[in-house]
Amino acid sequence: MEWANDGKSKGGVLAHLERLEIQVNRSRKNLEDPQRAQAVESALGTKIHKLRCLRDKLRAEVKQRQARVRASPDQTLEISEQEVMERRQEKVKAILQAYRFTGLSGKLTSRGVCVCISTAFEGNLLDSYFIDLVIQKPLRIHHHSIPVFIPLEEISAKYLQNNIQHFLFCLCEYLNAYAGRKYQADRLQSDFAAFLAGPLQRNSLCNLLSFTYKVELRGQFPFRARLQYKDLTTTLPTDVTITYQGTDALSPSWEEQRASHENLFFSKPLHHVFTYLQEKEKSWI
């Protein structure tokens, strides 16, 4: 092939052509997806801005500290140790307070420790309970505020002596599940009273609920629901029985509704089922 062996100019032309090609591809890419290019650009711009702000903040802090050191060079050593301890104290106090967000917090006592168990459901912070432990061999419970229907003896018999961490988290599980069930029952009673015929029947452990309800604001109360939560560590029922007790004959449409309601109660928290049914009702209007 008789192409000129003039390496310099050939390399120059080819290289130039390559560069032009890259440029075309790049601008084509930007044209095809200007939004993406823009998004990337603006994200980088934001990042640059953030880093600049951080840099300025740090510079200001450095200046401040330098000024402090210059101002009182002799006293600095003594006071800073005190200041360090005070700061550390504030930090430790804050962290001790923050433990309640893990579900377990506590204070040392002369006998041992008083553990505080916090409960929550769907982001709603609920009641706390305490259990005062005496640290001896064997470990024992001095006193506590745990409701009598929570199987505390059973749980402590299994775990208290062998694995106190497991004991506490297990208790935490039971209490949180109870708090969650109670919250659902309370919300049903307060927010959806118009849909219930008569009071919500419930036991203190809130693991057996029974109520008669309707879905439309007018008309009869066609359904009776019975919810059982055999697993005390969950907030959803293990057994759901919906019976139709309307005065009309049980038509296929009633049966369909009844069956779908059963599924709903299995899968959603109690008050959410009613919210859902309400919205469905509204969408029919």
Task: Choose which of 125, 157, 193, 259 interacts with other proteins (CB under 8 A).
Answer: 125
Q: Which is nearer to other proteins, 26 or 107 (CB)?
A: 107
DSSP classification of residue 95: H
Of all helices (H) and strands (E), which one includes residue 105?
strand 104-108
Stretch that binds other proteins, among 185-193, 215-223, 228-236, 247-255 (CB under 8 A): 228-236
* 123 is a contact residue toward other proteins (CB under 8 A): yes
Query: Prior bond to 73 cis, omega within 30?
Result: no
* 108 is a contact residue toward other proteins (CB under 8 A): yes
Site for other proteins in 147-166 (CB under 8 A): 162-166
* 93 is a contact residue toward other proteins (CB under 8 A): yes
Structure-token pair, residue 283? 């969408």
* 82 is a contact residue toward other proteins (CB under 8 A): yes
What is the C-alpha separation between 93 and 99, in angstroms, rounded? 10
- Report, in this order, helix, strand and coil percent for the chain, each rounded to 5: 55, 20, 25
Non-local CB neighbours of 146 within 8 Å, separated by 6+ positions: 129, 131, 152, 171, 175
* 33 is a contact residue toward other proteins (CB under 8 A): no
What is the C-alpha separation between 172 and 175, in angstroms, rounded? 5
Q: Which is nearer to other proteins, 195 or 229 (CB)?
A: 229
Site residues for other proteins per CB under 8 A? 68, 79, 81-83, 85-86, 88-89, 91-99, 101-108, 113, 115, 118-120, 122-125, 162-166, 168-169, 172-173, 176, 230-231, 233-236, 238-239, 266
